[in-house]
């Protein structure tokens, strides 16, 4: 992998990740851009104990442009985009309309391929490995920033999810705090460790799942399963068999095997609802241990956390979505219409080989 860092016209950082070591990335951003004024602010909810990002400047962000005006496609001729070069493998750049900025964190966009019509599932294993390398590199760089406490790599796919740009891409959020969902996991880890005399909760969960009918696929270094208490109609958790706290700690064997496993999962997701259905909307989310101090979580260290990816769709059946209505949005109590065992059976049935 070759990494080349450059600047866009308004001063934002852009990084090319190339498969070839001889790639030359010297194209300049020819757009007459002024620096974007960002007004991100983190506010604390005293009752719930969580945080809300206030980012009013995002109201003006690009919304579902036609293909010939996509800002994530390469620049060609007089058609200028966020990527100055005429082609690329993987590109990461600072979001022009970030939810988090300055002391409130950082947001980046990850373009998986220059092919506008593709999806992550269309990538080759070599391309998927390059994306993993980019995620890992950005986790290392962002976690070193003084204000950053947690790094979150994720992909939103599909207009039903709220995607505003159709080009295959994901995002990375660098939070200046430990997110509420991760904090819940850490508290559960601490409680389980205390009540069991030191057992790791992630290890216990994975051990239980491996003996159950909800396993979707297994390989030497990874296992994917529908969790016992799945929140979403079709939800899969992907774990490395060797517990590690973050992407940086994955060994070479797990890295080498990841592309084939992950691409197979994504391709199965597109087969869930049968032929002729539009692409399955999904969220793919990497959960990594925070990089800050964990003193508030009794006896828990970063090494107790288990890196894993959660992949889920909001489509519950053909032509119908799972909405977060009163119980989910009002009380955070999910109601799942698809039994996890049935979801796992369907995901095994649609194997691509």
Q: 3-class SS at 313?
A: strand
**What's the DSSP call for residue 33?**
P
Q: How far apart are CA 296 and CA 191, in angstroms?
A: 12
- Contact between 92 and 72 (Cβ < 8 Å): no
**Annotated catalytic residue within 44, 57, 116, 169:** 169
- Contact between 52 and 43 (Cβ < 8 Å): yes
CA contacts within 13 A on the Cβ side of 263: 20
Long-range contacts of 50-59 (CB under 8 A, 24+ apart): 50/180, 51/177, 51/180, 53/99, 53/100, 53/104, 55/97, 55/98, 55/99, 55/100, 55/101, 57/97, 58/97, 58/98, 58/99
Cα 280 versus chain centre, distance: 16
Q: Can 44 be counted among the known catalytic residues?
A: no
H runs (alpha helix) in 111-171: 125-143
Cα 125 versus chain centre, distance: 18
Residues forming the active site? 169
């Amino acid at each position: 992998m070759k990494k080349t860092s450059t600047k866009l016209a308004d001063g934002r950082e852009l990084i090319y990740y190339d498969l070839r070591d001889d790639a030359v990335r010297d194209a300049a951003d020819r757009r007459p851009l002024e620096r974007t004024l960002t007004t991100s602010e983190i506010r604390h909810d005293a009752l719930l104990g969580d945080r809300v990002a206030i980012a009013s400047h995002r109201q003006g962000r690009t919304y579902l442009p036609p293909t010939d005006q996509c800002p994530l496609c390469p620049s060609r001729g007089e058609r200028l985009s966020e990527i100055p070069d005429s082609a690329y493998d993987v590109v990461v750049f600072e979001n022009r309309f970030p939810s988090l900025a300055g002391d409130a964190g950082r947001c980046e966009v990850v373009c998986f391929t220059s092919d506008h019509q593709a999806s992550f599932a269309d990538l080759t294993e070599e391309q998927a490995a390059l994306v993993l390398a980019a995620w890992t590199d950005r986790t290392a760089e962002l976690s070193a920033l003084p204000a950053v406490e947690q790094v979150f790599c994720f992909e939103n796919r599909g207009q039903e999810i709220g995607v505003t740009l159709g080009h295959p891409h994901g995002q990375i959020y660098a939070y200046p705090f430990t997110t509420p969902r991760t904090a819940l996991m850490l508290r559960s880890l601490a409680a389980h460790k205390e009540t069991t005399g030191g057992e790791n909760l992630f290890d216990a969960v994975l051990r239980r799942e491996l003996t159950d009918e909800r396993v979707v696929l297994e390989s030497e270094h990874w296992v994917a399963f529908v969790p016992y208490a799945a929140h979403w109609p079709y939800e899969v958790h992907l774990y490395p068999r060797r517990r590690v706290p973050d992407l940086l700690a994955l060994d070479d064997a797990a890295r080498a095997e990841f592309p084939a496993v992950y691409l197979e999962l994504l391709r199965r997701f597109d087969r869930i609802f049968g032929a002729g259905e539009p692409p399955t909307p999904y969220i793919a989310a990497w959960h990594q241990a925070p990089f800050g101090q964990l003193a508030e979580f009794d006896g828990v260290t970063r090494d107790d956390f288990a890196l894993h990816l959660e992949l889920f769709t909001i489509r519950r059946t053909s032509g119908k979505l799972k909405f977060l209505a009163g119980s989910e949005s009002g009380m955070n109590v999910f109601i799942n219409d698809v039994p996890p065992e049935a979801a796992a059976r369907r995901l095994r049935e649609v194997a691509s080989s």
